Amino acid sequence: MRLPSLNMNLNLNIGRRSGADVTGLDIQPGFVAAVQARINGAILAERAAVLPLAADAVRDGEVADDGALSDVLRELFAGSGLGKRVRVGVANQRTVLRTLELPPLTDPKELAAAVRFQAQDQVPMPLNNAVLDFHPLGIVETPAGTRQRVVLVAAQRDMVERLLDAVRGAGLTPAGVDLSAFALIRSLYRADPDGPGRVLYLNVDGLTNLAIAEDTVCRFTRVIGSGLEGMAGELAVRRGISVSDAHSLLAAVDLTSAPPSEADPAPAEEPAAESQDVEELESELHSDPESLDEEAHEARERAMSYEELSAIEHAPAAPPAQAQSQGDAEVRDVLENGIRDISGEVRNSLDFHRSQDGGGEVSHVVLSGAAQDIPGFAAALELSLGVAVRGETIGVADERLADTVSLHRVAVAAGLAATEAPQ
Tens-level pLDDT at each residue, the chain (423 residues): 233 333 333 445 554 444 468 999 999 999 999 999 988 778 899 999 999 999 899 999 999 999 999 999 999 999 889 999 999 999 999 999 998 999 998 898 999 999 999 999 989 898 889 999 998 888 888 888 899 989 999 999 999 999 999 999 999 999 999 999 999 999 999 887 776 789 999 999 999 999 999 988 899 999 987 799 999 999 999 999 999 999 999 999 999 987 765 555 555 555 544 444 545 544 554 455 444 455 655 555 555 444 444 444 454 544 444 445 455 899 999 999 999 999 999 999 999 999 887 788 999 999 999 999 999 999 999 999 999 999 999 999 989 999 999 999 999 999 999 867 666
CATH for 193-261+321-391, options being 3.90.1170.50, 2.60.40.1930, 3.30.420.40, 3.40.50.1000: 3.30.420.40
96 contacts 125 by C-beta, under 8 angstroms: yes
Q: How far apart are CA 276 and CA 299, in angstroms?
A: 20
CATH tag, 1-190+394-423: 3.30.420.40
φ, ψ dihedrals at 13, nearest 5° = 55, 40
What are the boundaries of each domain within the chain? 1-190+394-423, 193-261+321-391
Cβ neighbour number for residue 11 with a 10 Å cutoff = 17
416 contacts 88 by C-beta, under 8 angstroms: yes
Q: How far apart are CA 67 and CA 82, in angstroms?
A: 21
Q: Do domains 1-190+394-423 and 193-261+321-391 have the same CATH topology?
A: yes
Nearest Cα residue to 33 out of 20, 45, 19: 45
- pTM value > 0.75: yes
